[in-house]
Amino acid sequence: MRFRRLNPPEHEAINVTPLIDVVMCLIVFFLIVGKLAHDRGAGVRLPASAVGTADAVSRLIVVEIAPLRPGERAADAFGPAMAARVLVDGKTVADEAALKAALLARLPADNPGDPGAPPVQVRADRAAPFGLIEPVVRACQELKVPSVQLVTERAG
């Protein structure tokens, strides 16, 4: 037996409150991920090169030389009167001694000059003068790092 409603609703509405909550969560998620992806890199614009090969080595020591961001003081930079930040595997180093210590931590303890040691990739900004790159190359030379690679991006 069917019962009739005395006051039937004009139209059944869809409850959109949960949908709005999900959309807001997605917006916040993508804003945070976008900010993290932007901040992850040190802002290094690599120089262009038409020659060279892509290297697919998984055990790398990456040294980034990035220009100071707006608002950063020169006192926070690498060495005296340097206008750059130096990062070893994403961690900022303050001076050449800290750079050598960070490199030694990643090299084999018994023999840093071992040919099987991981190569050091130097990723310097294209506007960086060689005076900013030279302390990194010198530290690698003093530690007898077997392979120092200067990274560029393919032109064209």
Assess whether pLDDT exceeds 90 at residue 56.
no
Instruction: State the pLDDT at residue 44.
Output: 66
Residue 29 pLDDT class (50, 70, 90 cuts): very high
Arithmetic mean of pLDDT, 64-79: 67
Residue 42 pLDDT class (50, 70, 90 cuts): low
Arithmetic mean of pLDDT, 104-113: 75
Residue 39 pLDDT class (50, 70, 90 cuts): low
Q: What percent of the chain has pLDDT above 90?
A: 8
What is the rounded distance in angstroms from the CA atom of residue 108 to the CA atom of residue 151? 23
Do residues 148 and 99 make contact, with C-beta atoms less than 8 angstroms apart?
no
H-helix or E-strand spanning residue 99: helix 96-106
Instruction: State the pLDDT at residue 77.
Output: 52
Assess whether pLDDT exceeds 70 at residue 14.
yes
Specify the pTM. Answer: 0.59
Q: How is residue 81 annotated by DSSP?
A: T
Highest-scoring range by mean pLDDT, 52-61, 78-87, 115-124? 115-124
Half-sphere exposure of 37 (CA within 13 A, CB side): 6
Arithmetic mean of pLDDT, 34-46: 67
Quick one: how far is CA 33 from the chain centroid?
14
What residue has token string 């290094």?
44
Q: State the pairing for strand pair 148-150/120-124.
A: parallel
Arithmetic mean of pLDDT, 132-141: 87
